[in-house]
Structure 1
Amino acid sequence: MAELILFNKPFQVLSQFTDDGAAGGDSPRATLADYLRIPGVYPAGRLDYDSEGLLLLTSEGALQHRIASPALKMPKTYWVQVEGEISDYALKRLAEGVELKDGLTRPAKATRMSAPAIWPRIPPVRHRDTVPTSWLELIITEGKNRQVRRMTAAAGFPTLRLIRYRIGDWTLEGLKSGEYRKVTVNLPASPNTKSRPGRAGPGARTRRTRKP
């Protein structure tokens, strides 16, 4: 068994515990240390500074690898607010793959969705009366740098707000921005063992929820 932290990362928070880029008179940016007081855990993967949503942390290297390894293609679900009313053609392009500077993206699932009932972003997304916005759900199985933003821009609909809702079987359900909870999960069995392999899925029970 291993412990996994499900954290709802706020907007403009680094997905690390220190701001390595702070220098001189620059004000340090918010980090995980401002929200989590749990020693020995590290993010399994990353989430951009200007993105929000689910970030998983653990102290178990095998579990980190299972979650973050590109080879294992764990699906990630994003809720994306874009500029403009997204078209069927753009959704088709996103689903089939978009050509970016570092190559063609893998096939994805892209569907229109209603605006989710979620926490307000601080600061709020820029609003313009003459430009509508819309939401889509995008499920991808890779992690190119700033991939979702680049995909929607290439399809003609710049991203305004980006929230990661799900990684594998774990979701943000019940977590406000800045909150986390702990779950226990089964680690995959070692290849050298004869017992039936376990599966790194959702915990059998939630231990507790903490606010920052």
Structure 2
Amino acid sequence: MQSESGSRPALVVGLTGGIASGKTAVSNRFAALGVPVIDTDELAREVVAPGSDGLAAVRERFGAQVIDARGELDRRALRERIFKDETARRDLEAITHPRIRARVALRLGEVDAPYAIVVVPLLVEAGWADSYDRILVVDAEPSRQRQRLMARDDVDRAQADQALASQTQRERRLALADDVIVNDGTPEALDARVETLHQKYRHLAAMTD
């Protein structure tokens, strides 16, 4: 992915995975190894922060009902608006996605490292796969995802299954993957898998540079 200034690391890896697969656990380990990590979830909040043109555009499209008393985006109200309305969801994406991508490009232009990780939870759904040099998918068995989701979000099995069903098919993600980390073991096993990929990416970046 090119930044607006035209500079970028030699290798940019898009990291994705299903809900509760362990994306944060993996990205935190890369960060601990000194790898720059750009989280698009954080950028998604920035582009609709109070006073931003993104929030103004959301208000213009969806009305004052999605702005709370503090002048911040009422995420729950917005989710209710777009949950069953495909047109509304696409309108929201048309507002936020270009702004998020622009911020990713700017952040990549500031990176001084052989490679960087960009965490994009909905990379496949958003159609952003072609923006990255490699796609890393964090994968887990659905039963394990369900257990983690129930524990993390304090929801019952039916709610967890609904959340899992709302995401793209696991097979579709894996079909786009250049690399896969199966997050099904101990923290130490995950450490080792991340370290192996870290060395691989350093090597690939050196060959590209």
TM-score when normalising by structure 2: 0.27
Which is helix-richer, 1 or 2? 2
More strand by share: 1
TM-score (norm 1): 0.27
